Amino acid sequence: MNIVVLTGAGISQESGIPTFRGAGGLWEGRRIEDVASPEGFIANPQLVHEFYNARRKQLQDPTIQPNAAHRALAEFERRWTAGTFCLITQNVDDLHLRAGSQNLLPMHGELLKARCFESGDVLPWRDDLTVQTPHPKLANKPGRLRPHIVWFGEMPLQMDRIETALNDCDLFVAIGTSGRVYPAAGFVMMTPPHCRKVEINFESTPIDSSFDEVIQGAASVEVPKFFEGLLASRG
């Protein structure tokens, strides 16, 4: 049985990383297009850098750690021998990586990387970025680095591998995502007709009706329960 899991901000919420939408969300009090679009970056790069600098700093705070849901997915992947396992995440944090997930596709980029929009180089990055930050190999050309993040209007990463995994999937599980951002919100519709489709979320979503089962609850509780059950049912 081939398994594809899609995660969103809800899986990291219990690790202390705010989700995007709703009260207390990352976008509360901000215009999305100001901080998460190429046009916003061109208009005010420093504002965008500051938004991501703060999040990059927070991610490296020692209190931010993978939670039981991240760990359960990594543990499941280690133990699953009855087919393939592919984890697609919309999250730009590194909590799946830190939990030990291997076949991981971060489709919206990674907060701990920077990209040079001249050379296309993607560089590991843990510090603040500013409009003056030079590319380490192009010291005379400051201001070419941007967060390695997929903004609205940009093509998500790894789409070929994602489509291949979805085409060949027998179980699709979406965890902690609001189902409002495409193409990820449409992945459930890209699975084959026989595929079992399960959603795990605190609340209902606009794509609920595309799933065979909806499990309402906290990811840290429901994810370990679901994946341990799957292993148990396979003996």
| Footprint (CB under 6 A) of ligand BJW, residues 20-39 | 20-21, 25, 36
The Cα 50–Cα 23 span in angstroms is 21
8 Å CB contact between 152 and 32: yes
Joined tokens for residue 122: 């993607």
Task: Collect all residues with Cβ–Cβ distance below 8 Å to 80 and sequence separation of at least 6.
Answer: 3, 231
What is the residue type of 152?
Answer: F
> Nearer Cβ to ligand BJW, position 1 or 202?
202
Lateral strand order in the sheet of 213-216: 104-106, 85-89, 3-7, 171-175, 196-201, 213-216
The site for ligand BJW, by CB under 6 A, has a size of 35
Interface residue with ligand BJW, options 68, 73, 149, 207 (CB under 6 A): 149
| Footprint (CB under 6 A) of ligand BJW, residues 76-95 | 90, 92
Active site residue 96: no
Task: Collect all residues with Cβ–Cβ distance below 8 Å to 128 and sequence separation of at least 6.
Answer: 49, 53, 56, 57
- Which member of 70, 108, 135, 148 is catalytic? 108
Residue 182 is a binding residue for ligand BJW (CB under 6 A): yes
Smallest distance from the beta carbon of 221 to ligand BJW, in angstroms? 8
Smallest distance from the beta carbon of 182 to ligand BJW, in angstroms? 4
Residues that bind ligand BJW (CB under 6 A): 8-10, 13-14, 19-21, 25, 36, 90, 92, 108, 149-156, 159, 176-178, 180-183, 201-203, 205, 218-219
What amino acid positions are annotated as catalytic residues? Answer: 108
